[in-house]
Amino acid sequence: MAYSFKGSISFGLVYIPIKLYLCVKDKDIGFNMIDKQTQSRVQYKKTCIDCDGRELQQSDIVKGYEYEDGKYVIFTNEDFEKLKTQKDKSIMIQKFVDLATIDPIYFDKSYYVEPTSAENAFALLLAAMQEQGRAGIAKTVLGSKEKLVALRVRNNQMLLNTLYFADEVQKAPQVSIDAPLKEEELKLAKSLIENMHAEFAPEQYKDEYRARVTEAIQSKIEGKEIITPKEEARPQAAGLLDALQKSLEAYIKTAPKKSQSPRARV
Task: Convert the pLDDT of each residue in 27-69 to its tens digit.
Answer: 899 999 999 999 999 988 899 989 998 999 999 999 999 999 9
pLDDT, position 263: 47
Q: What is the pLDDT of residues 239-253, one digit of tens each?
A: 888 998 989 888 888
Asked if residue 73 has pLDDT above 90, the reply is: yes
Give the separation between CA 210 and CA 216, rounded to whole angstroms: 10
Q: What is the pLDDT of residue 258?
A: 53
Q: What is the mean pLDDT of the chain?
A: 88
User: Cα–Cα distance between 97 and 95 in angstroms, integer?
Assistant: 7
Predicted local confidence at residue 262, as pLDDT: 44
Q: How many domains does the chain have?
A: 2
Q: Answer whether residue 105 shows pLDDT above 80.
A: yes
pLDDT band at 19 (very low <50, low <70, confident <90, very high): very high
Residues 22 and 106 in one domain: yes
CA–CA distance, 185 with 1 (Å, rounded to integer): 52
Q: Considering the domain boundaries, does residue 139 fall inside one?
A: yes
Q: What distances in angstroms separate CA 180 from CA 56, 189, 192, one per listed residue?
A: 63, 15, 20
Residue 191 lies in a domain: yes
- Mark whether 161 and 194 lie in a shared domain: no
Q: Which of 117, 132, 167 is the last residue of a domain?
A: 167
pTM: 0.77
The last residue of one of the domains, among 110, 143, 167, is: 167
Residue 40 included in any domain: no
Greatest alpha-carbon span in the chain: 77
Q: Are residues 143 and 246 in the same domain?
A: no
Are the C-beta atoms of 229 and 212 separated by less than 8 Å?
yes
Does pLDDT of 91 surpass 60? yes
- Helix 240-254 and helix 183-195: axis angle, to 10°? 20
- Tell me if 98 is assigned to some domain: yes
CA dist 221 and 179 (Å) reads 53
Same domain, residue pair 156 and 194: no
User: Residues 106-110: what's their mean pLDDT?
Assistant: 96
Same domain for 157 and 187, yes or no, is: no
What is the pLDDT at residue 202? 87
Q: Find the CATH number of the domain harbouring 94.
A: 2.40.290.10
When pLDDT is cut at 50, 70 and 90, the band that residue 81 belongs to is confident
In a domain? residue 11: yes
* CA–CA distance, 50 with 66 (Å, rounded to integer): 16
C-alpha–C-alpha distance, residues 119 and 15, integer Å? 11
Confidence check: pLDDT of 266 > 60: no
Mean pLDDT of 168-184: 87
Average pLDDT over residues 189-216: 89
Taking Cα atoms as reference points, which of 142, 21, 138 lies closest to residue 89? Answer: 142
Same domain, 98 and 155: yes
Cα separation, 118 vs 17, whole angstroms = 7
The predicted structure's pLDDT at residue 265: 44
Domain of residue 219 covers 183-264
Rounded average pLDDT over 181-200: 91
CA dihedral 94, 99, 105, 106 (to 10 degrees): 10
Q: Which residue has the higher pLDDT, 197 or 89?
A: 197
Any idea which of 16-25, 124-133, 193-202 has the lowest mean pLDDT? Answer: 193-202
Mean pLDDT of 190-210: 89
The answer to whether 110 and 160 have CB atoms below 8 angstroms apart is yes
Beta bridge partners, 139, equal 92, 148
Half-sphere exposure of 191 (CA within 13 A, CB side): 23
- Judge whether 13 lies within some domain: yes
- 89 in a domain, yes or no? yes
